[in-house]
A = this chain, B = another copy of it.
């Protein structure tokens, strides 16, 4: 008996006050109480006051689960990213959370860890949990997008961001990847470098092809030839550090090694910096570097790094605003917004000029 009691106490959440309790306390029906709480016109002012006071006194809080069941919406949105502990994505999540918080939505996070299978499960899990919509940035392994388009065609609002999926007609928000890498490459060219390598994410990712195109275009526009030996893809884009190390090793042991590298993602830039440090390579004397990075990383390197800053926080905010408009049907289903945010090219005085 005692043991049982203790167990119950332990398990039991605080018995929340319900509309029933208020009804009982006031000798009213639940429907009256419900209406009074929602400030319905059909309830007399006195009753309203009574109910409101009682609710206040009992510290009544509507049960969101019951509401969800009734209204078939949970006021929560799901997010699928490769890794939370990646500063680019954590900044995006920060933006997502800020908008969601303002609008009274919960944010449910899940990670694909760059695994296609995991992404499928995550999405399935989120949708079965009844989220009102999802924000997705596809994993590096993902080349089949049916799991996304299936949900989409079932009416689940979806906004794709950063790493998007071809052929799914929905809202998307991306960085102007072409521009970012074009500027990075051209900056190196303008500083006198001709042998410029590119370190890219997996070729399957939308960001990769766009950024690579910018790199090639910048070379071409400056009468430089594209050397395929200078282009390295890291399939797991930095999640596996050894991939980056290996790619850079290969570059540096070419008969004709590059004098400079553009790193086409935040994670790759970080990995390249780490590799340089481990190998004792000095920037810019041994090798020059410009690439996508966040300010923190760029600023603490020596010399401070000229870099492409991606507006991650803004991207998270924009994606969430779009998603909530979709969810709340504030936007016709036929107009899909394809937004492109401009990256910032930040030149550090100290960085990469040839000595």
Please give the residue numbers on chain A whose beta carbons come within 8 Å of chain B beta carbons, in ascending order. Answer: 6-7, 9-14, 61-66, 68-69, 72-74, 76, 83-87, 90-91, 93-94, 97-98, 101, 106-111, 125, 128-130, 132, 154-156, 270, 273-274, 277-278, 296-297, 299-302, 304, 313, 329, 332-333
Instruction: Say yes or no: B109 contacts A107, CB within 8 Å.
Output: yes
Instruction: Say yes or no: B14 contacts A156, CB within 8 Å.
Output: yes
Q: Which of B101, B107, B300 contacts A273 (CB 8 A)?
A: B300
Minimum CB–CB distance for A94 against chain B, Å: 4
Instruction: Say yes or no: A155 contacts B97, CB within 8 Å.
Output: no
Minimum CB–CB distance for A15 against chain B, Å: 9
Q: Which of B93, B299, B333 contacts A84 (CB 8 A)?
A: B93
The copy count of this chain in the complex is: 2
Measured between beta carbons, the chain B residues less than 8 angstroms from A301 are 300-302
Closest residue of B by beta carbon distance from A89: B90
Instruction: Say yes or no: A296 contacts B277, CB within 8 Å.
Output: no
Q: How far is the CA of A62 from the CA of B93 in the complex (A)?
A: 29
Instruction: Name 9 A/B residue pairs within 8 A (Cβ), A-sorted.
Output: A10-B155, A10-B329, A13-B155, A14-B155, A65-B74, A84-B97, A85-B313, A277-B300, A300-B301
Known contacts A110-B101, A128-B61, A297-B300: A156-B11 contact under CB 8 Å: no
Instruction: Say yes or no: A111 contacts B128, CB within 8 Å.
Output: no
Measured between beta carbons, the chain B residues less than 8 angstroms from A129 are 64, 106
Minimum CB–CB distance for A236 against chain B, Å: 16
Measured between beta carbons, the chain B residues less than 8 angstroms from A9 are 155, 333
Q: How far is the CA of A323 from the CA of B193 in the complex (A)?
A: 55
Q: How far is the CA of A6 from the CA of B7 in the complex (A)?
A: 52
Measured between beta carbons, the chain B residues less than 8 angstroms from A90 are 84-87, 90
Minimum CB–CB distance for A137 against chain B, Å: 15
Measured between beta carbons, the chain B residues less than 8 angstroms from A277 are 299-300, 302, 304
Minimum CB–CB distance for A3 against chain B, Å: 10
